[in-house]
Amino acid sequence: QLGGEPEKKMIAAFKAVRNLSSGLRSVTYRKDNAQVKRLGQSLLDAFTAKKREQLNMQLKCERCIANPRQCDRCKGAGVETCWPCKGSGKVGGQCRTCKGSGRSKDEAKECPKCKGTGKFEGQCGKCRGGGQWPCAKCRGAGAPFCRACDLLRKRQGGGAPLRLGQEPKSGVKIEVCSAADLELVKKMWKDREGSGDVLAAWSVDNPLLAWRQRRFLRDFKAKTGADADELRGFHGTANENVMSIVENGFDASRRAGQAYGAGEYFAKNPDVSKGYCGAGSYMLICQLCLGTQSTEESLADGDHIWVPHCNYYVIANPEQVVPLYIV
């Protein structure tokens, strides 16, 4: 049963949630009880999600708890004052209909818009009457962006599900790297302490392999509630294998020399991958998804393992890997 204090609370909650003005009109004017109950439930769900989001922004990692910092834009408040209404939530001024006279066009009657006052006052359209909004720099957290805090909030709040779209057709596009991409590749080579120089590089775009990797990321998050780590690694192989890999991805049936478990091997340092190129002159830079790290070299309880004394990762599932560059 609606009416009285419950209805006032429901309308107040509607105003606290953005983009629900149409629902507010529905609750106010419709008399169908079943429809009102459905709208009321959707309201409570949306309001609960909004409160959960606000509480989620208060989560902080151990480092930020021990050494709290303030956002230099909002001074730790997490919100900014609306500048059009100066925080009041209302705007006013001269009536545009009568131009401040308070009379109608023929001056025989009072202005129907301002009721003869010559002024108007209404809700601020910028802040929707709230007088403030979340700080654009810290997103309402009140502190500078922290990667550890952001990861903690994503794990707690779940985040939006990753959209896959329709599975694309097989195919690959290979182009000579632009000057900017070539500089990025050279920088990565140098940062990873690779010897020698990168003479040339080609970018690889394989929509099907990228789609399969996104599917792996989605399934991993649905299963564990956490985002998989991602990084780039070097993979050395014979020249005749390069095109097959960038076109079709890694083939588990063609694996050989599996010294540390069944999987594909990727190094952080390009010099490690050089040994796997044989007499070839090319290697691959790939995007890697690291889901659950295994405690055994057989990868029995995970999808990857790090071999520290050899400085490379072993990735169990080909869907975790997407070739990005031929170097």
Q: Residue-wise pLDDT tens for the chain (327 aa)?
A: 455 666 677 767 666 655 555 545 554 545 456 666 666 667 766 666 666 555 555 666 767 777 777 888 888 787 888 877 888 888 777 777 777 777 777 777 788 777 777 777 778 877 777 788 788 777 777 777 777 776 666 665 555 555 677 888 999 999 999 998 999 999 999 999 999 999 999 999 999 999 999 999 888 887 887 888 889 999 999 999 999 999 999 987 777 666 666 788 999 999 999 988 988 899 999 999 998 888 877 777 888 888 888 888 999 899 999 999 999
What's the confidence (pLDDT) of residue 165? Answer: 76
- Spatial separation of the C-alpha atoms in residues 300 and 183, rounded to whole Å: 39
The structure tokens listed for 82 are: 């609306």
Backbone torsions φ then ψ of 95, nearest 5 degrees: -65, 125
What's the confidence (pLDDT) of residue 158? Answer: 52
Q: What is the DSSP string of 165-219?
A: -SPPPS--EEEEPPHHHHHHHHHHHHHTT-SS-----EEEE-HHHHHHHHHHHHH
Please list, residue by residue across 128-147, b when 16 or more beta carbons sit within 10 angstroms of its beta carbon and e when fewer do: bbbbbebbeebebbbbeebe
What's the confidence (pLDDT) of residue 154? Answer: 63
Q: Give the single-character DSSP code of 143.
A: S
- Spatial separation of the C-alpha atoms in residues 117 and 98, rounded to whole Å: 10
Which residue, chain included where needed, has tokens 């069944």? Answer: 262
> Beta strands 283-290 and 264-267: pairing type?
unpaired
- Spatial separation of the C-alpha atoms in residues 236 and 245, rounded to whole Å: 11
Least Cα distance to 171 among 143, 228, 211 occurs for: 211
Residue type, 1: Q
Question: C-alpha angle with apex 313: 310 to 314, nearest 5 degrees?
Answer: 110
- Classify residue 268 by burial, with Cβ atoms within 10 Å: 0-12, 13-18, 19+: middle
